[in-house]
């Protein structure tokens, strides 16, 4: 591919850089494409495991521009190549803390201190998975946390959803468009989801609810074969044979590093206003670390674009 380096580089690898991007999923890398193309020197702290949640995904069928679908890791490679093509510096290390009292800002990475005039936080969010035997091995092999991404793979099949919040209702709702039966497994005898969402789901004849029920184990060698469930009132265990299990018990935003510096809501999602601004001027946010609603690769990329453009404006004004 033709190299088109546009962004300048500071004399020292430690900066000061115009933009430091923390995170290397679709949000961070899209920000990097925009800031480098805007001729801002850009460093991406990618984390030790770069690429975010899409690196754990198999086929992505809902990212525009890939009519045949694209493997999650391939999509991330392409985004990374695109950001590097315009001159982003990629550091495969974790940013451990930021100092926003200093000007330029400081980012601590191991024993090194990098300097940057602006920061884009794009550290994403992690799915909270069930802590039961078999889960990790079967993620992407029948176990998912994203019905809008994976529901079409379960056309004509029987699936289960774990959780009782709005996310579980939304997952179940999407799944009813494809699956023949959607079984919600919930540990209590009442959902915490909004009344409207509950009604919509409970009125759907395809949905069945197993109340007071927990997942004890998931079983399968190369793909999910069955879910072992336990009724926590009677202590009885039984097998539930399903083709898919969607886990919707919450997400954990990657905001720990910014604690007490960047404002978050009570669940740790970074508060955002006026585009991508945080409470600290010059520090912007994009992607799932603030978005607990859509949580899609394409929305993360869109937020990444927004933060990149906001950072460029900020640099121009300051
Ligand atoms: P949530 O509201 O915290 O619900 C999590 C659900 O998972 C709860 O029902 C909880 O059970 C269950 N759970 C937690 N840990 C579990 C475990 N280890 N084993 C089994 N079950 C477990 O999370 P969410 O549904 O992701 O929603 C997060 C926020 O986003 C909420 O404020 C929600 O309203 C909002 N949201 C809104 C929409 C919308 O408006 N369209 C869509 C999605 C999310 P318990 O009930 O027993 O605690």
pLDDT value, residue 60: 84
The model's confidence at residue 149, banded by pLDDT at 50, 70 and 90, is: confident
Strand runs (DSSP E) across the chain, as ranges?
A: 17-22, 42-45, 59-60, 70-71, 89-91, 97-99, 105-109, 112-121, 125-127, 143-144, 158-162, 181-185, 207-210, 213-219, 226-231, 236-240, 244-247, 251-253, 283-285
Confidence of residue 166 (pLDDT cuts 50, 70, 90): confident
- Judge whether residue 205 has pLDDT over 90: yes
Report the pLDDT value the prediction gives residue 46, as an integer from 0 to 100.
97
Residue 144: asked if its preceding bond is cis (omega within 30°), the reply is no
Percent of the chain with pLDDT over 70: 99
Domains 17-126+251-317 and 129-247 share a fold: yes
Q: How many CB atoms lie within 10 A of CB 259?
A: 10
pLDDT in the model for residue 3: 67
Q: Whose CA is nearest to atom 2 of ligand 1?
A: 165
Alpha helix locations (H) across the chain? 26-37, 72-85, 135-138, 147-150, 166-176, 195-202, 297-317
| Per-residue pLDDT, 181 | 98
Return the structure tokens found at 237.
């265990």
* Superfamily of segment(s) 129-247: FAD/NAD(P)-binding domain (3.50.50.60)
Residue ranges covered by each domain of the chain: 17-126+251-317, 129-247
Cα separation, 278 vs 286, whole angstroms: 10
Among residues 290, 311, 300, 286, which one has the least CA distance to residue 34?
311
183-211: average pLDDT: 96
Output the six-digit token pair for 279: 């409470």
**Which class does domain 17-126+251-317 fall in?**
alpha beta
Q: For residue 250, give the ligand 1 atom closest to its CA.
A: 26
Calculate how far, in angstroms, residue 141's C-alpha sits from the geometric centre of ligand 1.
Answer: 23
Q: Residue 209's pLDDT is what?
A: 98
Q: What average pLDDT does the chain have?
A: 95
Is the pLDDT reported for residue 116 higher than 90?
yes
pLDDT score recorded for residue 242: 98
150 is catalytic: yes
pLDDT band at 4 (very low <50, low <70, confident <90, very high): confident
DSSP character at residue 60: E
C-alpha of residue 54 to centroid of ligand 1, in Å: 22
Closest ligand 1 atom, CA of 292? Answer: 30
Query: Which of 74, 112, 149, 235 is an active site residue?
Result: 149
Write the pLDDT tens digit of every residue in 226-271: 999 999 999 999 999 999 999 999 989 999 999 999 999 999 999 9
Q: What is the pLDDT of residue 247?
A: 97
Query: What is the predicted pLDDT for the residue at 59?
Result: 77
Q: Which atom of ligand 1 is nearest to the CA of 249?
A: 7
Active site residue 305: no
Q: Whose CA is nearest to atom 36 of ligand 1?
A: 166
Pocket of ligand 1 (CB under 6 A): 130, 162-168, 170, 187-188, 192, 248-250, 292
Residue having the nearest C-alpha atom to atom 31 of ligand 1: 166
Q: Give the pTM.
A: 0.80
Q: How far is the CA of 23 from the centre of ligand 1 (A)?
A: 25
Alpha-carbon separation of residue 296 from 95, 180, 186, 216 (angstroms): 24, 25, 25, 29
The residue whose C-alpha atom lies closest to atom 4 belonging to ligand 1 is 165
Which residue has a Cα nearest atom 14 of ligand 1? 249
Task: For residue 190, give the ligand 1 atom closest to its CA.
Answer: 46
Is 146 catalytic? The answer is: yes
Task: Locate the ligand 1 atom nearest the alpha carbon of residue 188 and give its number.
Answer: 47
For 69: left if phi > 0, alpha if psi spans -120 to 50, otherwise beta; the answer is: left
The CA 155 to ligand 1 mean position distance, Å, reads 25
Tokens of 88: 């982003």
pLDDT over 80 at 41, yes or no: yes
Confidence of residue 148 (pLDDT cuts 50, 70, 90): confident
| pLDDT of 104 above 80 | yes
pLDDT at position 61 is 85
């Amino acid at each position: 591919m033709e190299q088109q380096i546009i962004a300048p580089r500071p004399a020292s690898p430690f900066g000061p850089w115009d933009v430091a991007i923390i995170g290397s999923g679709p949000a961070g890398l899209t920000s990097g494409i925009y800031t480098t193309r805007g001729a801002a020197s850009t460093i991406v702290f990618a984390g030790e495991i770069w690429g975010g949640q899409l690196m754990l995904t198999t086929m992505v069928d809902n990212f525009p521009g890939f009519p045949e679908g694209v493997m999650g890791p391939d999509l991330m490679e392409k985004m990374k190549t695109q950001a590097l093509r315009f001159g982003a510096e990629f550091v495969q290390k974790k940013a451990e803390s930021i100092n926003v009292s200093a000007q330029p800002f400081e980012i601590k990475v191991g024993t090194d201190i990098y300097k940057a005039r602006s920061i884009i936080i794009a550290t994403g969010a992690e799915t909270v998975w069930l802590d039961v035997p078999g889960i990790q091995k079967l993620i992407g092999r029948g176990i998912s946390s994203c019905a809008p991404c994976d529901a079409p793979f379960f056309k004509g099949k029987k699936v289960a959803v774990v959780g009782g919040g709005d996310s579980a209702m939304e997952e179940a709702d999407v799944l009813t468009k494809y699956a023949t039966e959607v079984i919600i497994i919930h540990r209590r005898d009442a959902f915490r989801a909004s009344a409207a969402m509950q009604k919509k789901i409970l009125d759907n004849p395809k949905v069945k609810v197993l109340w007071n029920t927990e997942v004890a184990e998931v079983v399968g060698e190369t793909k999910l074969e069955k879910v072992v469930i336990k009724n926590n009132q009677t202590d009885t265990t039984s097998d539930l044979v399903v083709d898919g299990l969607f886990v919707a018990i919450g997400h954990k935003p990657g905001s720990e590093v910014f604690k007490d510096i960047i404002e978050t809501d009570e669940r740790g999602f970074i508060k955002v206003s006026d585009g991508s601004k945080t409470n600290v001027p010059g520090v912007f946010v994009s992607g799932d670390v603030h978005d607990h609603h859509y949580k899609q690769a394409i929305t993360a990329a869109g937020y990444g674009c927004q933060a990149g453009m906001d950072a460029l404006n900020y640099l121009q004004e300051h």
